[in-house]
Structure formats: structure tokens, C-alpha cells
A and B are shown apart, each in its own frame.
Chain A
Amino acid sequence: MAQTKVKSGLLEGVATTVTPASGAATCDFSAADIFNITTTEATTLTFTNPQLAAVKDIVVTGESAVTLPASVREVTGNTVDEAGVTLIQVLCVDATTPVYYASIGTAAA
């Protein structure tokens, strides 16, 4: 049986920085795996190009409110603090509708 050699580089994710404008920021899920966002005002996130079963990480820095799309269903037990870095891990379970499950937590900066 032929074996395919997997190079470590193929497994690396792609990180990108999303800069909010006028209280809105868009995460294009086809463009990266990790989205770094720094907020300075209340910001509404929009997700585009959902991919079934894809897990995306959104890292938010800033003490402003962040609104997730209505398509996001947060799992229970999430906590968040104003200070620190908030990690929003999003799993796409339906790319058509779409529907996401999100696990949310805050880590020290």
C-alpha cells in the first residue's frame, strides 16, 4: 500500500488579522483558520464562506462587546471577561443554513 508523506507544513493553519471598521468585522472562513481581532468599540462579527466540519478560532482582544451571528449556538459553560483575550472556537455543523457551535472562553493576555 502506497504511503503519502505528510509534511508538517501541510498541517499548519493560516492566521489572519481582521480589522473592524465602524463596529463590524467579517471573518472569511475560506481564507484562514485563526482570526485575530482587536476591538476598540462594540463590534458585530459576520462569518462568510462556511465549510462543513471546519473549526475556526477567533481571538478577540479588547474590552468591547462582541456580537456573534444568530447562526452561532454557544455551548453551555462558556465564560467571558472584559479583560484578557477571548477565544471563540467555532465549529460549522451546517454550511448551507449555516449553523455553528461555539465554545467561548477568556485567557490572560
Chain B
Amino acid sequence: MKARLESGKVVKYNTIPKILKSASGETILKANTLPEFKLKQLGFHNVVTPSYDLLIQELGDIYFDSVNNEFTYPVNNLTWSETLSELKEAKIKIAKDSANQKLITTDWYVVRKQEKEIDIPAQIQTDRDAIRTACTAHENAINAKTTKSQVQSYNITY
């Protein structure tokens, strides 16, 4: 993707238009065939999206980076109105809900055991125990975090 400044605004282009106007008013036909250096002369520069952590950062408004000659975005840290403990509570809830979703798929073994006295397969029992253990570990890890960013960027996987 490329972009250029037009009337003080950054306009992004997925492709270079076939007909465009230069800053001096010239009409350029088949502009999409222009070589890179010509496009730069016309103000077209690459748009570079910086890498950022979606959980704790966001991109600001696109701007022209004159040092690197490219359009890019500032990476801003997110802020949260909740307190640290409220964020922890919400994160732990996510961890527990995720664990529950995992357990649900094998709950029927437990119900069958209660109703029919048919043993839960050893591997299933092992897997369910591992999910609970992991959930407890997540909860402890989340509680050990000391900043909001740490809590928000904590990755929960099972």
C-alpha cells in the first residue's frame, strides 16, 4: 500500500490509480506503470504498519516519517479505566471460562460415570486434571502481575 499527502490529508492507495494529478496539475495517464522513483517524486510513499501488541497498544493516525521516507503510524499504549484488581478479576474470569469450555467437551464422561457407573477413561481424566491445573496456574500468574499492561498482555492458552 502507498499513500501521499493531498490537500493536507494523507490519502492511502491500495493500488496506484491509472489516472492521477500531480501537485502542479498535470494529468498523468497510466500512472500505475510509473517506476518507484517517479512515484516518490509525485509524493507516493510506502505505508509501513509497525508491529504492535493488540492487547496493550493501538495505532494512532497515519503520518509521514520524513526520516525513513514512508508513511507510518505511531504506536500508543492503551490505558484502562478499570483498577488493577478489576483487570485481574476479568482476566481470571476469561481463564476460567476458557477452562470450562475445554472441560465441557468431556463432561458427558462424568455424567455417564454418575448415572451408569462407567469409568471415565484414564486419559480423559488426566486431560481434565491438566486443564484444572493449568487454570490454577493462570490464576496465580495473573494475580502475580503488578501492572495493568502485564495483566492485559498475559496470554491464556490451554
Residues of A within 8 A of B (CB): 42, 44, 60, 63-70, 72, 74, 78-82, 86, 88, 102, 104
B118 close to A (CB within 8 Å): no
Cross-chain contact B26 with A80 (CB below 8 angstroms) = no
- A64 contacts B19, C-beta separation under 8 Å: no
- Which of A65, A74, A102 has the most C-beta atoms of chain B within 10 angstroms of its own C-beta? A65
CB distance from A32 to the nearest CB of B (A): 20
Cross-chain contact B30 with A82 (CB below 8 angstroms): yes
Q: Please name all residues of chain A whose beta carbon is closer than 8 Å to the beta carbon of B112 when the two chains form the complex.
A: none
Least Cβ–Cβ distance between A23 and chain B, in angstroms: 10
Report the nearest B residue to A78, measured CB to CB. B19
A-side contacts of B137, CB under 8 Å: none
Given A70-B24, A79-B18, CB of A63 within 8 Å of CB of B29: no
> Can you identify 25 A-B contacts, CB atoms within 8 angstroms?
A42-B33, A42-B34, A42-B35, A60-B29, A63-B30, A63-B33, A64-B30, A64-B33, A65-B29, A65-B30, A66-B29, A66-B30, A68-B26, A68-B28, A69-B26, A72-B26, A74-B27, A79-B18, A80-B18, A80-B30, A81-B18, A82-B30, A86-B30, A88-B29, A104-B29
Tell me the minimal C-beta distance from A14 to chain B in angstroms: 24
User: Is B30 touching A68 in the complex (CB atoms < 8 A)?
Assistant: no
Nearest-CB residue, chain A, relative to B24: A70
Contact residue range for chain B?
Answer: 10 to 19
Distance between Cα atoms of A69 and B34 in the complex (Å) = 17
Considering the complex, which residues of chain B in the window 1-60 have a beta carbon less than 8 Å from any beta carbon of chain A? Answer: 18-19, 22, 24-35, 38
Interface positions of B (Cβ within 8 A of A): 18-19, 22, 24-35, 38
Q: Tell me, in angstroms, the Cα distance from A78 to B35 when the chains sit together.
A: 23
Indicate whether A70 sits within 8 Å of B25 (C-beta atoms), given known contacts A42-B38, A78-B19, A81-B18: yes
Q: How far is the CA of A67 from the CA of B25 in the complex (A)?
A: 10
B29 contacts across to A, CB distance below 8 A = 60, 65-68, 80, 86, 88, 104
Q: How far is the CB of A53 from chain B (nearest CB, A)?
A: 21
The 9 A-B pairs of least Cβ separation, nearest first, read A70-B25, A68-B27, A66-B29, A65-B30, A65-B34, A67-B28, A70-B26, A80-B29, A80-B18
For A78, the chain B residues whose CB sits under 8 A away are 19
Q: How far apart are the CA atoms of A88 and B38 in the complex, in Å?
A: 22
Expressed in whole angstroms, the minimum distance between the Cβ of B119 and any Cβ of chain A is: 72
Report A-chain residues with C-beta under 8 Å of the C-beta of B30: 63-66, 80-82, 86
